[in-house]
Structure 1
Amino acid sequence: MKPRSTLARVLGTATAAGALAWAVMAGGQPSNAAIGTVADATPGYAVEDYNYPKADEILAEQGILLKRGDGRIVLADCASEKNLLKFLARDRADVCFKVTGEEGFLTLELNSVHGVRTDDSSNTHLEMTAEDERVEYDIPAETWEGVGESVDGREHVLVEIRTTK
């Protein structure tokens, strides 16, 4: 057999195989199942709902209902450091929060609050309720102040904290 005929035979076979493969691929359409699988595999959007993480556990363990916030006012152990936002409440241990940003907000329910000590750098706005009446306090940074029950004798529930630096 001559080398030229061997080369022609190999090229002819390769061309025929390539043409067959092209015909099969060009004639077939992707199935909807394949498209659906790829579309379903794309990641979803992350949506912040501002609900306080592990709020149910904190309520069960500490009796504090933490509702919603921007993550810049977080519950802290009062013994963990000195520069914390500290609340005094009747019939319970002090409750502290760490302020981590330039401004922050947190909605909650903390019963029988009568005093607050703001941290060293945050001006703090508090909203409280007493007998269906809303009461607000603006307290400068690094201040101890009586609020709620110690001001008017009625039991107050702390419902919102807002801070600004």
Structure 2
Amino acid sequence: MRTLATATVAGALAWAVLSGAPTGATPSHDRATSTVADGTPGYAVEDFNYPDADRILAEQNIVLKRGDGHITLVDCAGGTGYIEVLARRHSGKVCFKVVGNSGWLSLEIPAVYSMKGNDYDTQVDMTVGTEEKSYDLDENTWTAVGESADEQGREHLLVEIRSAK
């Protein structure tokens, strides 16, 4: 008997939905569209933007744009095995740590003239005016890049780092 009553109620509800009869719920076209139920956290969507980029720009004058999270800015005093950058507009070195099998980071550091590679195969892209140049960094040694490798000594902007094991 309980099964018959349950089936009858389910059938009546199905008939009401299919026939358009009011069921007490607001039709979906009258409700505000929401991708997540009210009061619950939203979905995490990776946009590859560098976290705290505004703070880093204000404190260190380094523009960090986007990356896959495997190349991150670090304090050079925090260890070894980093990619190191020398630029005329920065006192001291700027360092990046690479984790995982590969990584990429788009950024802007002006007036770069030398970089030290780590244990990864690393390529960097730079711009000078409208010209783009790429350099392979020597592993664990300093490589002349940018203006120190340019015949005219022009100021180069570091725009991307790519590393892979």
TM-score category, normalised to shorter length = 0.7 to 0.9
List runs of 5+ in structure 2 lacking aligned partners.
Answer: 1-5, 17-22
From the CA coordinates, give the structure whose radius of gyration is larger: 1
Change (3 A) 1:77 1:46: same
CA shift digits 1:40-79 (9 cap, x unpaired): 5276432210000011111111000000000000000010
* Paired position in structure 2 for 1:100: 99
* Paired position in structure 1 for 2:108: 109
Change (3 A) 1:32 1:48: same
Structure 1: how far apart are the matches of 2:143 and 2:66? 25
- Percent identity between matched residues is 50
Change (3 A) 1:151 1:116: same
* Paired position in structure 2 for 1:68: 66
Question: 1:122·1:140 contact (CA, 8 Å) conserved in 2?
Answer: no
- Pairwise CA RMSD: 3.0
Deviation, 1:83, is 1.2
CA shift digits 1:65-120 (9 cap, x unpaired): 0000000000000100011110000031311000011100000000000000111x
Amino acid at match of 2:122: T
Amino acid at match of 2:155: E
| Count of residues in correspondence between the two structures | 145
List runs of 5+ in structure 1 lacking aligned partners.
Answer: 1-21
Q: Structure 2 length normalisation: TM-score?
A: 0.75
* Paired position in structure 1 for 2:25: 32
Change (3 A) 1:40 1:55: closer
* Paired position in structure 2 for 1:150: 148
Amino acid at match of 1:31: G
